[in-house]
Amino acid sequence: MRKCSTIPSSEKKLMTGLPEHIVPLKLGFCHVYLVGTVHRSQKSVADVQRMVRALEPDVVFLELCEERRQVLTRKEISSERKIITPGSEFRIAYEEAIKYGGKVILGDRPYEVTLKRAWRKIALSEFINAPRARSLRFPFDDFREGFIRYDKEYENMKMDIINSCQVLSKIIPTYAETYIHERDIFMAKGILNEAKKSSRVVAVVGKAHLDGLKKHLQHPQQLDDLLVDDLLTVPPPKYIILKIITSINVLMAGVGIIWEYFEL
């Protein structure tokens, strides 16, 4: 049975003073590092670059799917101000990995599947409440171009993400289930599969996924019993009205904005 344990002394010395959003785990013979990020933070970009450069892991696992591969080649906007393009931490992780020949895995569930599952599984009461999500103040309302004015805002932004997700989860519980918890399981299984055949893995994920991934990877035997196919199945709509107005995409008022701003 694989158990979570501490990292070896050599790497522990190298990684002295790891912040709380970088979580070291050990699965069998593989050392796994979960790097939780805020997707529009320069600090997150620097953290990711530091980890990949220092460890040169066999595998760099990214919270991206093939549908979002373009993030890896998206260039920063030139400006006198510092512009942080959403997903820059994924791009820097990819660029660092290819320098030494590391394997890059796009390990998130396909975006289209996540969107359809959320849409098809939503309860009628959640559907009615979805527009209420527009009243929430999201942490990037003041940074629509991705401009981060001060690094000291990082901690406040991180807490805003967590708090907004918690509030939205109460308004639309299906959001938490499909956009966060199911993807936690999907990515945890992917990380575990890579850990079985690697000695070192660095996984770059949004901060909202960090606790869930840690929980699942600390109990890997439970992950072995879960079927990925179940998370890739799109159920039929619960209500006829949802079939009629699917093209309007009203659900995006509740959950799509999270993807837009946080790219969770």
CA–CA separation, 30 vs 199, rounded Å?
Answer: 4
Question: Is 4 within the bounds of a domain?
Answer: no
Domain span at 250: 9-262
Task: Find, among 81, 207, 205, the residue nearest to 145 by Cα.
Answer: 81
257 lies in some domain: yes
CB atoms within 10 A of CB 42: 17
Residue type (1 letter), 136 = L
- CB-facing half-sphere around the CA of 24: CA atoms within 13 A: 19
**Domain assignment present for 2:** no
Can you tell me which residue has the tokens 């209420």? 132
Is 3 among the domain residues? Answer: no
Complete DSSP assignment for 99-139: HHT-EEEE-SPPHHHHHHHHHHH--HHHHHHGGGGGGS--T
Residue 126 lies in a domain: yes
Domain count for the chain, please give it. Answer: 1
Q: What is the CA radius of gyration of the chain?
A: 19
In angstroms, the CA 10 to CA 15 distance is: 9
160 assigned to some structural domain: yes
Per-residue pLDDT at 196 exceeds 70: yes
Kindly provide the residue ranges of all beta strands, DSSP E only, lying in the chain, ordered along the sequence: 22-27, 30-37, 59-62, 103-106, 200-206
Residue pLDDT, tens place only, 45-96 = 999 999 999 999 999 999 999 999 988 987 665 444 555 677 899 999 999 9
Using one digit for the tens of pLDDT, what is the confidence trace for 87-141?
899 999 999 999 999 999 999 999 999 988 888 887 777 766 666 555 544 443 3
153's tokens: 């805002």
What angle is formed at CA 13 by the lines to CA 9 and CA 18, rounded to 5 degrees?
A: 115
Q: What is the pLDDT of residues 153-184, one digit of tens each?
A: 444 555 555 555 666 667 777 878 888 899 99
Q: Residues of the chain with pLDDT > 70: what percent? A: 62
Distance of CA 68 to the CA centre of its chain: 12
Instruction: Let me know if residue 145 belongs to a domain.
Output: yes
**What are the helix and strand counts (H, E) for the chain?**
13, 5
Dihedral pair phi/psi, residue 32, rounded to 5°: -115, 135
Instruction: Report the predicted TM-score, pTM, of the whole model to 2 decimal places.
Output: 0.77
